[in-house]
Structure 1
Amino acid sequence: MRIILLLFTLITGSVAHAQLACSTQGQNRQGGVITPFISTGTPAADAVVNGGSGAGTASRYMGDGKGVITIPVVFHILYNNAGQNLDESLIRQQLVVLNTAFRKKNADTANIPEAFKSVAADCEIEFKLAVADPLRRSTNGIVRKYTSIKNWLDDDKMKFAASGGSDAWDATRYLNIWVCNLALSSGYSSFPGDAAAKDGIVLRTGLVGSKVLVHETGHWLGLKHLWGDTYCGDDQVDDTPKQSTFTPGCPTGVRPSCGGGAPGDMYMNYMDFTSDACLLMFTQGQKARMWSNFVTSGKRAGIIDSKGLTPAANDEIPLPGEENPQKPEEPVTAALKLYPNPAINRLTVDVGADDRWLGKTISIYNTNGEQVLRSIINGKQQAIDITRLLPGLYFVAGKQENGEQIRVKFIKN
């Protein structure tokens, strides 16, 4: 199936907002090995899907108290050039698209065929940028990292700093979304139960703001493609009619397949490949399967207890005079590392794969904004003698000609 999808992508050229080319299969990835699709796996979760007593177990988790589960999100923006370092406003626009779809608030739901309107669902799931990271530090929910990698494959390498990507935040508490220059597909997702370090969604940079993320988030919450990734396959949801395969373009009318008649294929469902303009709905059955992840024994139950949307007790301390240290035009280079931290006599600055910092000057500031040390980065691991510094909190900071910054805190013992 993957070969077919890749050929489809190559034939149609670059992927535009109008057509999805998802490389997620109705299977999950474990250590690079394709294993069978994960069902809910517990009696309580299956009861939710089937409308049984387990539904009560899930319904007591109301997220924000309004019958809605709210999921904290972190975007990992991997950029090789300035154009890929997306503005925060575009990220927030993408969340509007995501929430509108999952809450059935898009105006074009009026276009859902009459035969399917009764099963169209407000999924009562919402997504918000995290305001606290796993270490309870204040954040805007966006990690920005320069990478020397120009093109990425669907191999999960963007999920690890060691291979030029960005490490996942705690996948039991956050939805991780990696945005990067995917070469062969529009995006792909893990499934509930996948390895934590790889758990999340990958999205092509140029498709941020489209409905591709809606489709991939459906996968992240346990939904398969409508055709079950095989001819007339089973997506394990009762109220989605069987269909032979994906639907290209933006069709109209009744399109029966797999020997069925009216009402035909549900090609306007977010889990098909139909063009953005014709993707309109999730079903009640799909909603139940997504909610089944949040029961006590569900694969995403930890999201309910996440502190990612609870403001941190103490905000990150910015450098003096910098009111917004993470604004897009002055991004922090996430690749830079300091060790040991805390340090005693010697501090090592590691610029990782970002060799553009070689030859640049970095400074160390105290909390009063006074510069106490300067050093030129002569190697990818630059050692700095900090013997004469008094114990306390300090900042390592530097800036390139294009405005890009490095800024990391450390403690001197």
Structure 2
Amino acid sequence: MNERANTYDDAVIGSSPMMLLVALELANKGRRVCLIDRSESLGGAWETVSIADAVAVEGACHLIEVFPGVYEYLEKASGASFVELDEQPIRIHRSGIHVGYHNRLMLMMSGFRLLAGYTLFSGIRFIQPLRYRDAHLNYKNKLKSFIAHQTPGLFRKARKMKGPEHGFVDFMNRLVGRCMDAGVALRKLDVESVTRSQPGWTLAGRHPADNLVADRVHCTTSTNLTRISEREYSATPRESINRAAVLTRVLRTNVNQSQTYVSFWKDQHITRIARIDSASDSKHLQFLVELRTPSVLQLQNFESIIRKKVCKAKIARDPNLIEVIGSVNCVATRNTDQLPAGEISPGFHGYYSMGNLAAGIASWLKHRETHATYQESAAPDDCVEHHRSAAA
């Protein structure tokens, strides 16, 4: 193992849960791993933010869907317990109709939409291949994942969704802690290019002093890196999305249904509501409301809108007893697949993500033999158990 500074066995680009899991797997095999992110805070879209009186919450509403082996794997990797959600997630149409998240009709509509998108972009990409390449790859990956993992739900009773017993903030803290305990190094670096060098890959930022070298590189398929050749990848500008979320608090005596996750379909103001479990507050339930755009915060009656949406989700009875605690703004990058999954170049590996952690992990577990993390002798479960013993 090369002990020189800025030289590693593996460089993992991005700190989303998917890449934290990859870094942990590699480090548990005894490899020297560097986790790279352009931001000071870890987690990507799953980062923890502070609202109002330093209340730590996730910056967006999250849901880990039902995919084979995912909950079990996450429990072993993070050490967090996953329990069945007491209220299963729902979708709400703008007409007010409530539909179960894994309703067969919704699954059929999702499959049809993905098939239509894939068919459309398969045709027009031949007219303008560079412009529509990412969209075509995006629909292709999503359709493959849907066929492999979600079509069985059309023919059998859907399993209940689960979530971390103590919330996503606790889950992320545990996962980051496991990575630190395993010896994963952290580097803040905005990667501008990745080029094949001797003996490995050179990851370059704006300043040469920030460059590092790794034998192998790992990133999600929705990275901002574009493949120039087998030996060169270059960062391309990505569309930024301004997001905002509002934290609300509802008296337990005013709770109608303690919904865990509500997705609003075609609503002009909000996209999702998620319950933020807090064992320290016995009188209230907290709900994070993710807005369609930050401009909603500028509306004169935005607090009234938030209260009405919480009631529309059948969470609360009386909108006047819903307290708006505070809001947070953040900037995200629009997810579009730039790269395929698997070994793209010798020593350069892509991991399917596309904003769906469960789909990414399921794809990873199913095709683990194509990834460098599984080409060592130790199995993933053995690595986790070894890490637990070492930590003890």
Which structure has the higher relative contact order (CA within 8 Å, separation 6+)?
2
TM-score (structure 1 length as normaliser):
0.23
- Between Structure 1 and Structure 2, the one with more strand by share is 2
Larger Rg: 1
- Between Structure 1 and Structure 2, the one with more helix by share is 2
